[in-house]
Amino acid sequence: MDSSARQDAQDALDVLRETGFDAELLDDSGADAPPGSYSVRVPARDEAAALAALNAAGEDVPPAGPGDPSDSMDLVTVFEGQSTTAELEAMSIEAVLKANGVPCVVQSASEIPTLPFEVLVPKRYVELALALLAEARAAGPEAAEQAQADAG
């Protein structure tokens, strides 16, 4: 997430609405939206004209095309477990990653016990996530207890 993403999206929305477009701002509250993401949408028929309006207003917009071909935000599984402790492990992994600024998603179907719990991170964070998890495992539960004691 870019720290100015929300403001950038709001600026683009303002320009589009001022120039007569039916535009809407979407944030990361949607079920499939990556954390910290914002997007401005217009009807498909208005896409080219909306991009031209944003460019004319000096907004930094990518050239029109079929979408971002980047795969750096594709999700990759860094943990998968199906044991009786898999949910607890997934939640612990999520806590470690989020505490270190790594966006992640826990995927599960807890109502169907035969399906695994997974923790997924964007591809560009895989190495960092794996290093953080290895460090946490090496430090052991005592380090987690000490961190909680220090925080509280």
Residue 16's nearest CA partner among 8, 5, 28 is: 8
- The reply to whether 15 falls in a domain is yes
How does DSSP classify residue 62? Answer: P
Residues 79 and 52 grouped into a single domain: no
Which residues, 6+ apart, have CB-to-CB distance to 57 below 8 Å? 15, 19
Residue type, 124: R
Question: Which residues constitute the domain of residue 27?
Answer: 5-56
Q: What is the mean pLDDT of each run of 10 residues along the chain (152 residues)?
A: 74 88 82 73 84 78 56 87 90 92 88 84 92 91 73 63
Q: Are residues 146 and 94 part of one domain? A: yes
Looking at residue 54, what is its pLDDT?
82
Q: What is the pTM of this model?
A: 0.52
- Domain tally for the chain? 2
Looking at the domain assignment, is residue 66 inside a domain?
A: no
- Same-domain pairing of 51 and 118: no
Look at the block and give the residue holding tokens 């290093």.
Answer: 131
Q: Which whole-number Å values give the CA distances from 82 to 107, 138, 143, in the listed order?
A: 12, 22, 25
CATH label of the domain that carries residue 21: 3.30.70
Quote the Cα angle for 98-101-104, to 5°. 50
